[in-house]
Amino acid sequence: MSWHFIVMAVLYMLAGIYHFINPKFYTRIMPRFLPYHKTLVLLSGIAEIVLGIGLFFTATQKLALYGIIFMLFIFFIVHVNMLTSKKAGLGIPKWVLTLRLLLQFVLIYWAYSYL
């Protein structure tokens, strides 16, 4: 297991934990059309933690990688919402939000490269 693979796993686990530390941040960026914002934030946090842990076990690595890729595609909804909604954008410059949206493709490729 390479160091960059471990970094990826730990990053997803830390991101998931942050959903529980600061759920308000995530609920503010959720699109209005999605119901149960807090529940979705907590579920996505659980998903990130579980998928990050799944990367450490040979039996679950491939499933975890597919799960991460799927999750990142779903998260496009939130990142587009941040880019198009002034409130959800949290005052972050558009160019930063655009880069963040493009970073999704890098993260997807990073996970895909291990399949």
Number of residues written out for the chain: 115
pLDDT score of 37? 96
> Is the entire prediction scored with pTM above 0.85?
yes
**Chain centre distance of CA 108:** 10
Instruction: For residue range 30-88, list pLDDT tens digits in order.
Output: 999 999 999 999 999 999 999 999 999 999 999 999 999 999 999 999 999 999 998 88
